[in-house]
Amino acid sequence: MASSLTKGSADPSAEQTFFGHPRGLATLFMTEMWERFSYYGMRALLVLYLVSGGTEAATGTQGGGLGFTMATATAIYSVYVAMVYLMAMPGGWFGDRVWGARKTVAIAGGVIMAGHVSLAVPGQAMFFLGLALVAAGSGLLKANISTMVGHLYDGPDDPRRDGGFTIFYIGINLGAFIAPLAVGTVGEKVNWHLGFLLAAAGMGLGLLQFLIGTKTLSPRSSLVPNPLSQQERKAVVLKAAGTVAVVAAFYGVVVALGAYTLNWALVPITLAGLIIPVAVLVRIKRDKDLSAPEQSKMTAYIWFFVAAAVFWMIYDQGGSTLSLFGSGKTSGTIFGLGFPATWFQSLNPLFVMSLAPVFAWLWVWLARKNQEPNTIVKFAMGLVLIGGSFFVFIVPMNMAGDGTKVSPMWLVSIYMIQTIGELCLSPVGLSLTTKMAPQKYASQMMGVWFLAVTAGDCTTGLLSIAGVNLNGTGVIAFEASAAVLAGFAIYSYRKKVQSLMGNVH
């Protein structure tokens, strides 16, 4: 970290810097790192805590969990992850129209910390309240903190901009890597609720870091770009109050009749997570203000959106289906050293940090030779790889069918294949979204991209609620086949999709 030469100088090179970048990047880096620490730490514990104490409890963990079946635990996990990404859209709206990015992130940090503290209190009611708070807070934060990184630079042409986002991305994965090792170990081997409390402490450190470092952020982060008028504010409050009253009345009647079960909450949320992405895409696609080229690009974008939803449907089972397999059917030792099952959740961020620079170099090297795969081919590669990872998964599942504990290297291999698929699809999808976004929806399309995660996870959740055993080899084989076929489909129609994309390559 370099010290400033003349703090406050108009010359950017003379300002206090963080590895050559604006000092505010250090504040946002640490805030995001600790937020990801809290999120991924809790996520590593989530499914194991849900099944602990039940008839299907994963072996090797303490009791004291909620005792749900694997199917119910997978449904809850899937719905939770879906809601985190669904809340990114209203999170962006609050930043743009109500509080501004800086205030929204501060409030989000407090909400997330309150959610983890709630999870640390025993009991189902506090558990589900905590999940709701963490999902809402994560959505608020996710949509605004990246915007604040952009505010640190002098427009999109600042040569430091891409490097700044790369450093920020390292912070995300560093927090995600450390979390299962710390939070996961304490929660799985000592006490679940102490693990959740440790996640709360992580978010508390991130929030403290943010509040102390706000002076290093761009003044633009405090502005509300498009504030609500007084009339709009009243309309929003009335609609929100009306919606809350209707939902409360409905569930009040259900509870009074003695008919309430967990599915009364899970099914509506899951259906909403499928309907909302479709409704948003249809609304944008049918907007008559879009030009013919923009309409064409949106048609092409739907192909990529569906492909991404299929990808995330499988990928996010790394924290549910693969996690349960790692805890119950995988040996917890390697080279004679034992380790908790939650440590498997550190593999993906470790591989991302290791392989991302390699892939960045590879694409540039291939581009120089005029051999870089285009966006469509990269998407197809991502889908084939994520499907292939589940084909590999079938092998240890069959090996463990007679109660044999399989080598942890099977899961290491599966997570590595999935990470390579992620590096082919996820960064490309983010870039593609910014390039293909209609001008009218330029600031909203990133939220639309996150809805692909919501759609994929809600599909998984709905299957679990319907009684489909996602931990069975038949379903795993079906999902693997669906992903590979989707990859071949988008590759087979690449010329058609490319023509719809216009000047975007």
Tens-digit pLDDT profile for residues 157-197: 677 877 788 788 888 899 999 999 999 999 999 999 999 99
pLDDT bin (cut points 50, 70, 90) of residue 312 is very high
Q: For residues 419 and 363, which has the higher predicted lDDT (pLDDT)?
A: 419
| Residue 1 reports pLDDT greater than 50 | no
Residue 431: what pLDDT? 78
What is the widest separation between alpha-carbon atoms in the chain? 71
Query: Three-class SS of residue 330?
Result: strand
Helix (H) or strand (E) holding 185: helix 185-189
| Residue 46 reports pLDDT greater than 90 | yes
Residue 375: what pLDDT? 87
Question: pTM for this structure?
Answer: 0.89
pLDDT bin (cut points 50, 70, 90) of residue 15 is low
For residue 372, CA distances in Å to 3, 364, 367 come to 40, 8, 5
pLDDT bin (cut points 50, 70, 90) of residue 64 is confident
Average pLDDT, integer, range 249-278:
91
Average pLDDT, integer, range 388-404:
94
**Nearest Cα residue to 311 out of 383, 414, 207:** 383
Residue 151: what pLDDT? 86
Tens-digit pLDDT profile for residues 116-136: 999 999 999 999 999 999 999
Average pLDDT, integer, range 481-505:
88
184-223 CB burial, b ≥16 within 10 A, e <16: bbbbbeeebbebbbbbbbbbbbbbebbeebbebbbeebee
Average pLDDT, integer, range 314-333:
92
Residues forming a β-bridge with 337: 334
What is the chain's percent helix, strand, coil content, to nearest 5?
Answer: 75, 0, 20
Average pLDDT, integer, range 368-392:
93
Residue 168: what pLDDT? 86
Residue 429: what pLDDT? 85
Class of residue 438 by CB neighbours under 10 A (exposed 0-12, middle 13-18, buried 19+): buried
Residue 156: what pLDDT? 65
| Residue 298 reports pLDDT greater than 50 | yes
